[in-house]
Amino acid sequence: MDRIAVLTSGGLDSSVLLAEEAKTAEVYPIYVRCGLAWEDAERSALDSFLKVLNSPNVKPVTTLSAPVRAMYGDHWSVGPDGVPGADEPDTSVFLPGRNILLIGLAAVWCSTHHVYRIGIGSLGGNPFSDATPDFFQKFAAALTSGLDHVVEVKAAFRDLHKWDVIKRFQSLPLDLTLTCMAPIDGIHCGQCNKCRERQVAFDRSGVQDLTIYARGTATLGIQNISQSHS
């Protein structure tokens, strides 16, 4: 059976990618800790999703580390303040070198575990230069050269938008995934840029959003459950 390492954050896109790859391949989930504010909630979501998925082709999660605080300084992603809100543009959530770190660490792991493909849940419409097909191809070539180990970066959903993924894979436990930069007690805050993106995607997909949001969902016609969880 084919083998693939899948960069899995516990978010909707990468969790669905992992489930899809597991249909035909032996999947090695890789979670990279960088010291970002939402990682504990994200990792918990990943565990919940994998437990329900219960696929025999999914191996135990490998956790790698690449602390970014020294590089990022007072960036909002490593502290409690300044998280981009629902009305801020997607460019506001840029994490410098994010895919360079994720793919680079995964590639080193692959080189010592006889794995040659890395899956990443990058979607269409991603505006960042480290999420383009050209970048993936060139970076994979550089890693192949530097590691003396063939590395292929596979972005299977690069031609899809989040609403396409939701509609196509609605049978999966999507509500167990976490796409939030400021989770409250382990659930979506409902007010950050990523929560808004998730809400809009469910709305456009026509699929019922079973995600629990702490607040801020009423504008999309989604039931606001903040009072019942206060």
- Per-residue pLDDT tens over the stretch 208-217: 999 999 986 5
Q: Determine the Cα angle at 154 with ends 150 and 156, to 5°.
A: 160
Element (H, E) at 167: helix 162-168
pTM of the predicted protein model = 0.91
Residue 80 scores a pLDDT above 80: no
**Domain coordinates of the chain in residue numbers?**
2-170
pLDDT at residue number 157: 97
Going by the DSSP 8-state scheme, the letter that residue 131 receives in this structure is G
Place of tokens 């960042």: 128
Q: Is the pLDDT of residue 120 over 60?
A: yes
Residue 224 has a pLDDT of: 37
Which tens digits make up the pLDDT trace of 1-55?
899 999 999 999 999 999 999 999 999 999 999 999 999 999 999 999 999 999 9
Q: How far is the first Cα of the chain from the last one, in angstroms, to the nearest whole number?
A: 48
* CATH 3.40.50.620 is held by the domain 2-170: yes
The CB density around residue 54, as the number of other CB atoms within 10 Å, is 7
Residue 103 CA, distance from chain mean position: 13
3-state secondary structure (DSSP) of residue 198: helix
Residues forming beta bridges with residue 119, ordered by sequence position: 6, 154
Residues paired with residue 10 on neighbouring β-strands, in sequence order? none
